[in-house]
Amino acid sequence: MPADAHKQIAAALGRIPSGIFVLTARLGDQVTGLLASWVQQCSFEPPLVSIAVKRGRFVGEWLQRGAAFTLNILDETQTDMIGHFGRGFDLGQPAFTDIEADQRPDRAPILTEALAYLDGRLVSQHPSGDHEIYICEVLYAAMLGEGRPMVHVRKSGMHY
């Protein structure tokens, strides 16, 4: 492929808007969180969302093993969450230091300042290039505030 064609593909892909979310997960006594931007509702009945996670992230293994997870929908003003959760966490590294979160037993944490959240369970998984796509059923959801969801448009569709 010519270099110019690759640049055009990267620029056009980057213009696909996406939300910014924090996926939190609990497996036993362990909890973590990561920034997620490739999330989309993909069914009305039952209510399903797709979440793309880069291969090699341990959260993917947790989801396969039945981890409880919550998709926290960020408000457009919560840019501090991008820096905090964007770098990711190693297994066992505390993810919620200096973050207000409702640490629920047997469920994933809720970011208390999020716009809304969705609790769900994994129903299927599909390999997709350098990511895995997880299809998750929404079992419970709640609005926590009023505002506009955070939306992101990238300069290049070839990296976050």
20-24, 30-34, 61-65, 119-123: segment of lowest average pLDDT? 61-65
Identity of the residue numbered 64? Q
Query: How many residues are there in the chain?
Result: 160
pLDDT value of residue 55: 93
Q: What is the pLDDT of residues 54-100, one digit of tens each?
A: 998 999 999 988 888 999 999 999 999 999 999 889 999 999 999 99
Confidence of residue 2 (pLDDT cuts 50, 70, 90): confident
CA–CA separation, 22 and 30 (whole Å)? 16
Q: Indicate the pTM of the whole model.
A: 0.93
Calculate ∠ Cα 160-101-78, nearest 5°.
45
For residue 106, the Cα-to-chain-centroid distance in whole angstroms is: 19
pLDDT above 80: residue 1: no
Give residue-wise pLDDT tens across range 113-149: 999 999 999 999 999 999 999 999 999 999 999 999 9
CA distances from residue 71 to 16, 19, 122 in whole angstroms, order as listed: 20, 11, 12
| pLDDT computed for residue 68 by the predictor | 87
Domain 18-152: give its CATH architecture.
Answer: Roll (2.30)
Output the pLDDT for position 3.
79
> Strand (E) positions, 5-115?
18-19, 21-27, 30-36, 39-43, 48-54, 68-73, 101-102, 110-111
